Chain A
Amino acid sequence: MLSFLRHSPVVSRPTTQGAMSAIWIDGVGCFWLSQKDRVTIGGPGAPSAKPDDERETADLAILSDLKQRHATIVRNGEGYLLEAHGTARVAGRDVLERAALNDGAMIELGRSVRLRFRQPSALSLSARLDFVSDHRPTQSVDGVVLLADTCLLGSGDENHVVCHDWLGQILLVRQGAELWCRSRQALTINGHRLGSGRRLQSGDVVSGEDSRFRIEIPN
């Protein structure tokens, strides 16, 4: 958070926070991927004195008046829960300790931050947070994918990342800590043909016939 205050202004400045990966999709937007089972949401907090102090800020730090750690989204074997550390409402009800998150549930944090929880695909446990109010992290992000097993990118509503004009579908599959890319269409990664699937590394550019995206994975 506010990392540009700590780093000298050089080119390879990370554009995401903490352990989040980012995918930049041409014509679509920027989506963050979190592989953690617990994702904390909070406000920006004060710029820390220590340069690499990641403990203080939340995984998803939104420029808003939220507490530093306002809520945690927890994935267990069956679904998602919201643990509230500050005032929170889920689907219009106040959350005292925790509440289950179902597809389409509106998460209201603090006075004005609103996120919508979506679990678009029945075939995957992965979920997505949509920004409903105009609060964002320091840079504009179109959604945060909570990656459990797979992340679907395609034109239909069943995809985690909806790319309106795409013809095919691309899958990001989680293999342990690694991220793999698979698709039924012919893809290239950094100009090389993708066979049945390949591990994605930070900075890889994946291109299809009508699609292109770049992924940034924190080390």
Chain B
Amino acid sequence: MKFTFAPESRPLDGFTIKRAIARGGFGEVYYALTDSGKEVAIKLLQDNLEVELRGVSQCLNLKHPNLVTLFDIKQDGEGDHWIVMEFVGGKTLDRVVHENPNGLPLDEVLAWLDGIAAGIGFLHDRGIVHRDLKPANIFRENGIVKVGDVGLSKFIAPSRRSAHTQSVGTVYYMAPEVAKGRYGREVDVYSLAVILYELLTGKVPFDGETTAEILMKHLTERPNLAPISPNLRQVLEIALEKDPERRTSDVLELARQFRAAATQQVASEDLKTDDKVLGAESSPDFHEIHAERLWICAQLRELLDKARELETAADRDRAWSQKQPHIEELVKQAREIRTKAFNRDNRLWDYSAEGTFASVLTVADKFHKLASPRLPILDYADTQPYEKPAAAKPAPQRPSMFPNPKRPASRWEKACYTTGRSVSGLLSLWQRHPLLLIGAAVAILIWTMPRGVSANVMSAGRGMSFLWVVFGVVVTIELFRGVSRGVDWLFLPERSSSTESHGRSTGHGHQQPHQQWRAESSSRLHAAAFRAVNPNTVREISWRRRITELSGSLATAGLATALVTAVLAYVTQFFGSTALVGQFAAGTLLGSWGLLIVSKLREGLPRERYIDRMLLAGVGVLVGVALFQLDGWLLIDLPTDGWSQKQSLLAMTSTSLSGNPQHILAESYVAFFATLFFFRRWWWHTDSFRAHRFRVLSVCLTAIVGALAARAWGFPVLWGTVWAASLSSVVQLAAVWTPREQRR
């Protein structure tokens, strides 16, 4: 929506426009403050018809709580007229209807109706017809309904309607006789009836594509009253009569009829629910039973009152045992009443009788407890026969690793078993790390408490999340070990014997040459030999194996990324907002995947160092572009200092720095990742023949390269460093590693 006047403009002396409120059929409405701070709504009259001004002037001194008060009419320097009126906050009825597309509850409808009817009734009493009653004109602030645009309605005959001032919104509520230029107060009755229809159902009775279509429907079509409940149907039917003569004559009369019908409806609904509970309203003795029920309740209540009196007296005199017979007597009476009621008709005993009865019993219980002397507490401990612990049973024989020891297990079986055992081993983790489990239990406890039972518990909970991290690391390592062992089984060559532990088999004549080598390697190898088998070793790796290992690594990288991000998010205050967490995780994941994919596809091939580096740098470019896109999509800003950006290579070589020093350029993203990926030998992180599964030194070195790259390209240094370090960690954790003695 475009408005003529800008905020803070002062078309009228003494009034400062703060914002536009809406555009109505008669002009733009603004919220303005007077110089002393009074808030008002001011409305610009678009064309100054004399007749309009007269209409408003008529209403200028009308006072009613349900009408928006007019303060003044003023003329600005250009001769335009402004109406100064009361500012009403709160929702318009229009908005309320919008929020309740299936109609409002009946009591809400009645609340609105009363206010509207009172306001319009007052206007009619003063001889004024509103003529433009519609939900957009009706407000409710502080529970008071107010009708606006009083005296403003033009003579809205369609023939005189101009496209600019006539909004379609008005036509929905326009009485048919308006087309003939007739404006009695029945016009307002009709509009109010349309509004009531809309409030009840959420839809206007006559809708259409064009103004003409809607007008035609108003003139000819009968409203569909099927969605309206039967009691109200008749009221609305008369109020929506096409002929003003036959229509309900007055808004107050409409409101009265509507309210009467509505209460009748509510009453009949109540009766219906009652009927459901009893299931016997139609039976002739219904009223008799009802009376009987009341009588029973009254009797019980009397008994309860007596019991309470006794209780107070006993409490005062400490005479619980003396008064006990009295209360027993009361309970007896109550029981008699109940038995009688059930004998006559079980419908006589209802919920409230049961409740009162239970209360009497509760009081009696109290007497019983306090009157009887306290019984000595029996100590059963001595009477328990002492049972000697059974002699330690011999530990059950561990079942053989595989069900049929005669048949050598297949690799799949071994792989599944090893993986499965490590997973089940997790369940017995507490045996190995009891403290960890206790800590975890406490952490879970605190975690699941409603957030912030008190601030202290909350901060304790944050401390505990550290335990979670430790727990997570252990679990991940265990899982990883299990899975990698399982994977090992898959890729180790089939063995002739069914030996369970790998790495100890002896070579056999029928093994292939490289298996022979592997068998030899099971004994200790020279350091020189280790060195000879490094990521640069050329070897043959099948595509199938590459892809299998790669997919495993990619999945693990996901886990590791989540872990690293969680550590950063919970243990440190590294991230300022949730969006930054997402950006960080996405960067780490994409980067590590890129690195893992390139390295795995190049693994074992003759090492062309610069080809590898260029490939990695290319991946870095892609990652940078992706992250820049994500940055834009999440609309985030990495926390940075303007200084490092101004001093960066980019700033020196290009003039494309935007006016916003906080915003990381696409160039920065791309250059940072390309540099980081180019200057590290990532295959030493990812190759299955790397020296160590996880090398902290590599992480540190990468972090330094990250810091330098970030510094050079105007990327946030802290983020660069942390991103590099986490990439290195994730990649090392995720990549497959072959123990030295198994390398071949």
Contacts and interface: CB of A to CB of B under 8 A. Distances in A.
Interface of A: 4, 9-11, 13, 15, 24-30, 76-79, 81, 97-100, 102, 122-125, 134, 136, 138-140, 142, 148-150, 164-165, 171, 173, 175, 180, 182-184, 195-199, 203, 205, 210, 212-214
A139 B19 CA distance: 14
Given A9-B35, A175-B662, A197-B660, A149 B19 contact: no
Interface string B5-32: 0111010000010111110000000010
Contact of A184 (B2, B7, B635, B660): B635
Given A100-B451, A195-B659, A196-B663, A125 B577 contact: yes
B33 A139 contact: yes
Contacts of B576: 149
B587 to A, nearest CB: 17
A27 B21 contact: yes
B77 to A, nearest CB: 16
A106 to B, nearest CB: 16
A24 B662 contact: no
Contacts of B6: 205, 212, 214
Contacts of A122: 578
Contacts of B141: 134
B583 to A, nearest CB: 11
B577 A124 contact: yes
Given A30-B31, A196-B663, 6 more contacts: A11-B10, A28-B19, A149-B576, A165-B1, A171-B635, A184-B632
Interface stretch (B292-300, B335-343, B452-460, B527-535): B452-460
Contacts, number: 129
Given A78-B462, A134-B142, A180-B662, A175 B451 contact: no
A102 B7 contact: no
21 contacts: A10-B35, A25-B19, A26-B19, A30-B19, A76-B455, A97-B454, A98-B452, A98-B454, A99-B452, A100-B451, A123-B577, A123-B579, A125-B578, A164-B95, A164-B98, A195-B658, A196-B663, A198-B660, A203-B8, A205-B8, A212-B2
B76 to A, nearest CB: 16
B145 to A, nearest CB: 14
Given A4-B37, A11-B10, A124-B578, A197 B663 contact: yes
| Secondary structure type dominating chain B contacts | loop
Contacts of A27: 1, 19-22
Contacts of B458: 78, 100
Nearest to A171: B635
Nearest to B457: A100
Going nearest first, the 6 A-B pairs with the smallest beta carbon separation are: A100-B452, A214-B7, A24-B19, A134-B142, A26-B20, A149-B577
Contacts of A123: 577-579, 582, 634
A140 B87 contact: yes
Nearest to B451: A100
A85 to B, nearest CB: 15
Contacts of B450: 100
Contact of A214 (B8, B579, B632, B634): B8
Contacts of B452: 79, 81, 98-100
B573 A81 contact: no
A203 B39 CA distance: 19
Contact of A81 (B20, B21, B455): B455
B89 interface: yes
A105 B455 CA distance: 17
Given A10-B35, A140-B89, A214 B19 contact: yes
A124 to B, nearest CB: 6
A13 B10 CA distance: 14
A124 B33 contact: no
B384 interface: no
B71 interface: no
B143 interface: yes
B637 interface: yes
B159 interface: no
B568 to A, nearest CB: 13
A182 B141 CA distance: 34
A185 to B, nearest CB: 12
A212 B637 contact: no
Contact of A102 (B142, B451, B663): B451
Contact of B3 (A26, A98, A134, A182): A26
B387 to A, nearest CB: 49
B36 interface: yes
A210 B1 CA distance: 5
A139 B37 contact: yes
Given A124-B578, A149-B576, A26 B1 contact: yes
Contacts of A100: 450-453, 458
Interface string B435-450: 0000000000000001
Contacts of A140: 39, 87, 89
Contacts of A213: 7, 19
B3 A212 contact: yes
A165 B95 CA distance: 11
A24 B39 CA distance: 13
Interface string B676-713: 00000000000000000000000000000000000000
Contacts of A197: 637, 660, 662-663
Contacts of B39: 139-140
A134 B143 contact: yes
A98 B455 CA distance: 7
Contact of B635 (A97, A139, A165, A182): A182
Contact of A13 (B21, B35, B578): B35
A207 to B, nearest CB: 9
A113 to B, nearest CB: 13
A99 B454 CA distance: 6
Contacts of A164: 95, 98
